[in-house]
Structures are given as structure tokens and as C-alpha cells.
């Protein structure tokens, strides 16, 4: 299973990162499409000991795939085959949009990190909704026991002005909530101009309230709602968001998104500067992501579900987040470096630690 890092170095490390991602994802989907998914499920279904209750849902494992890998819901079943307990789709916007100009995805191999300025490239909520519906139906048939959970991450369309952001989010909420196990409001990507301003509590309160009401009405049930925050928030702002989430009785917080910081990197400064603007993800986020998790846990206690994401690479690191107060943990960047057996290895390590 550890052969993939060599494959990555020989086959993908020299290739444009976005192109490599598309090729890798296409291969995962192709294996699923030709009927090999059943074999993968037998190999990689998480041990029953890892089943986890969160958000009123049962997850096969606390470890899942963060938003950003499957932006448009085109490979949910294929990714579930690999052992992820949940797949968070998105970020999806009310309108379709191409995202920022390419190149817009870059590796910092020495740091096991990625810089992206994708800009929420996606087909839009109306196109994604039927894919989600089909994926849920497929998962229900192929997993007779506890099926992988599907989350939906929504953001603001770039051309929509900030003062009109609420209505834009409501379009996505109404369209996607009926086929979402849970929903995430993303106000923390650095790649949509002005988006992070929505993390201000005065702006965030009506946004979250409106999305929750619209999602529940459209789905005819309560759709668990979370907000995803940036690691770059000051501690007092993290505390303010936590207080707001408690006030509004949200279901949880995802901590954290990518960072605009470039501090403490091992990669040469000129290489980092050459990559340009964008959100940094991967191993360099470990310390800050864990610190935000611990701060949130100290404030919200057991009243909210905390999903930790940022820099996890091993089962021990996932368990550390769980021990620090997370109910669920997500990964993404290490998937690009470790390959398709990564989630299965995490689950195996987690199961061993629990013995």
C-alpha cells in the first residue's frame, strides 16, 4: 500500500497539479464505473468498531473526505469505496462558474502542502442536485448497513455582491438540502473576493439563520447545519463565532479552512512566492487547526459537533483530534500525496489504536 508515494513522485509530481488531480479522480471513478467498486468495498469497508454517532447520523468511521476534492458530486460512490466515512461535496454555488484562471493549484512537496486559488469552480446547484440524489440512492443500495454520509458545502457565487450573498446562499440551500445528509456554509475560503468578511458575526447571524430555515423547509426535515471557519481568525473572533453558533443552535462548526499564512514553511521562499496567492492546506496547518479545535471545544463543550480538518496524515493524528474534542475528522491534501489507499490505512490505524 505504500507504493503510491513512489508512483506519485514518478508519475504526478512533475505534472500540473490540477491536471494530475483530474487524472487521478478519473481513474477512481472509472474503476467504480466498470463494477470494481464491490471489490474495493470488501477490501476497505471500515471496521464496525469505528462507527460513530454525530449530527444525529451514524458514520461508518469518524474519518471523511473534506470539501474540495469532489467539487460537483461526480464521484461520491467511487470515493466511498475507498473507506471514507463521509464525503463532503463542494463548494457549490447558486450559479455555475468557471473559477479563477489556470494555473490555480500548486504543490509544495517539501512541506506536503498545496496552495489553491480555484475560486469555487463548479456546475452550480441546479446541476449538482440530481447527482446528489442519485448518489444517495446508490449508497443506500450498496451499503445495507451503515452507509457513508454525504455532506454538501455551499458558498457565494463570485459575481454576486456581498449585500446579495444571503439570497445566493438560499438558492443553494433550497436546491441541495433535499439530497444532503448535512450542509455546511462556507464563509472562509480566501479565493472569493470579500467572502471572509461574512465571518463577521453581525453578517453571519442572518446568513446562517436564513440558510437553516430554507434548508429545513426545502427538505421537509431538519438538515444538520454547520459553518466552516478560517484558521486565520483571531482567537477572539473564533470565540465570537462559537458564541453565535451556540446562540443560533447550529449543529456544528468545521475547523478549519485553508490559510493565507506562509509562515514556517520548509520550501524556499522564492518558490512559495512564485506560486502566488491562494489558500494553503496540508501539513503546515496541523498546529493551528488543532489549536482552534481545542479553543472551540473549551467554549462549546458537548453542545455542538466539531469537525476538525487541517494537516492530518496518520491515524494517530486523527485520533489526536478526536481526543481533543472533534466528533469527526476530515482530510484532503494528504490524499493527493498518499493515494487511494490512504483512508483505508487511516481506518486500520484507528482500529488498532482503539484495541
Domain boundaries, the chain: 3-354
10-residue averages of pLDDT along the chain (355 residues): 59 74 86 80 90 97 96 94 95 95 93 93 96 96 93 94 91 98 86 67 87 97 96 89 92 94 94 93 95 97 97 97 98 90 95 90
Contact indicator for 186, 67 with CB cutoff of 8 Å: yes
Rounded distance, CA 229 to CA 106, Å? Answer: 22
The answer to the question of whether 153 is labelled as a binding residue is yes
To the question of whether residue 70 is assigned a binding role by annotation, the answer is yes
CA distances from 34 to 37, 138, 322 (A): 8, 15, 36
pLDDT of the residue at 223:
98
Asked if residue 278 belongs to a known ligand binding site, the reply is: no
Q: Which residues lie across from 54 on neighbouring strands?
A: 57
Residue 37 known to bind ligand:
no
Helices (H), 224-285: 235-248, 269-275
347 marked ligand binding residue: no
Residue 116 marked in a binding site: yes
172 flagged as catalytic: no
Q: What is the pLDDT of residue 149?
A: 98
Residue 69 assigned to a binding site: yes
Domain covering 3-354, topology: TIM Barrel (3.20.20)
119 is an annotated ligand-binding site residue: yes
What is the C-alpha to C-alpha distance for residues 173 and 223, in angstroms, rounded to an integer? 10
Phi-psi region of 136 (alpha: psi -120 to 50; beta: other; left: phi over 0): alpha
Indicate whether this model's pTM tops 0.75.
Answer: yes
From 189, 267, 281, 327, active-site residue: 189
Q: Among candidates 16, 309, 36, which has minimal Cα distance to 184? A: 309
The C-alpha cell that represents 227 in the structure block = 459553518
The rounded distance, in Å, linking the Cα atoms of 162 and 168 is 10
Is residue 157 a known part of a binding site?
Answer: no
Q: What is the pLDDT of residue 259?
A: 93
Distance of CA 288 to the CA centre of its chain: 17
Task: State yes or no: 68 annotated in a binding site.
Answer: yes
Q: Is 258 annotated as a binding residue?
A: yes
Q: In residues, how long is the chain?
A: 355
3-state secondary structure of 59: strand
**Residue 117 is labelled as binding a ligand:** yes
Amino acid at each position: 500500500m505504500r507504493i503510491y508515494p513512489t508512483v506519485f513522485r514518478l508519475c504526478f509530481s512533475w505534472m500540473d497539479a490540477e491536471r494530475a488531480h483530474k487524472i487521478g479522480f478519473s481513474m477512481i471513478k472509472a474503476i467504480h464505473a466498470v463494477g470494481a467498486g464491490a471489490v474495493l468495498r470488501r477490501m476497505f469497508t471500515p471496521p464496525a468498531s469505528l462507527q460513530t454517532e454525530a449530527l444525529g447520523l451514524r458514520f461508518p468511521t469518524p474519518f471523511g473526505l473534506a470539501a474540495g476534492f469532489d467539487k460537483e458530486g461526480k464521484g461520491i460512490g467511487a470515493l466511498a469505496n475507498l473507506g471514507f466515512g463521509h464525503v463532503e461535496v463542494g463548494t457549490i454555488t447558486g450559479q455555475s462558474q468557471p473559477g479563477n484562471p489556470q494555473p490555480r493549484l500548486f504543490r509544495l512537496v517539501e512541506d506536503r502542502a498545496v496552495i489553491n486559488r480555484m475560486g469555487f469552480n463548479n456546475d452550480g446547484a441546479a446541476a449538482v442536485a440530481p447527482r446528489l440524489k442519485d448518489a444517495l440512492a446508490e449508497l443506500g443500495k450498496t451499503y445495507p448497513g451503515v452507509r457513508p454520509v454525504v455532506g454538501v458545502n455551499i458558498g457565494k457565487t463570485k459575481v454576486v455582491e456581498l449585500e446579495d450573498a444571503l439570497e445566493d446562499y438560499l438558492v443553494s440551500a433550497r436546491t441541495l438540502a433535499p439530497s444532503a445528509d448535512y450542509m455546511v456554509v462556507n464563509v472562509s475560503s480566501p479565493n472569493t473576493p470579500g467572502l471572509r468578511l461574512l465571518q463577521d458575526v453581525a453578517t453571519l447571524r442572518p446568513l446562517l439563520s436564513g440558510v437553516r430555515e430554507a434548508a429545513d423547509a426545502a427538505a421537509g426535515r431538519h438538515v444538520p447545519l454547520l459553518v466552516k471557519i478560517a484558521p486565520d481568525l483571531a482567537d477572539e473572533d473564533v470565540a465570537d463565532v462559537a458564541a453565535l453558533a451556540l446562540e443560533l443552535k447550529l449543529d456544528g462548526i468545521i475547523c478549519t479552512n485553508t490559510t493565507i499564512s506562509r509562515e514556517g514553511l520548509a520550501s524556499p521562499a522564492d518558490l512559495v512566492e512564485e506560486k502566488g496567492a491562494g489558500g494553503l492546506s496540508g501539513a503546515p496547518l496541523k498546529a493551528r487547526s488543532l489549536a482552534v479545535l481545542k479553543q472551540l471545544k473549551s467554549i462549546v463543550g458537548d453542545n455542538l459537533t466539531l469537525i476538525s480538518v487541517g494537516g492530518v496524515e496518520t491515524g494517530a493524528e486523527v485520533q489526536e483530534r478526536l481526543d481533543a474534542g472533534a466528533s469527526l475528522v476530515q482530510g484532503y491534501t494528504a490524499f493527493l500525496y498518499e493515494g487511494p489507499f490512504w483512508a483505508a490505512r487511516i481506518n486500520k490505524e484507528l482500529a488498532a489504536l482503539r484495541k
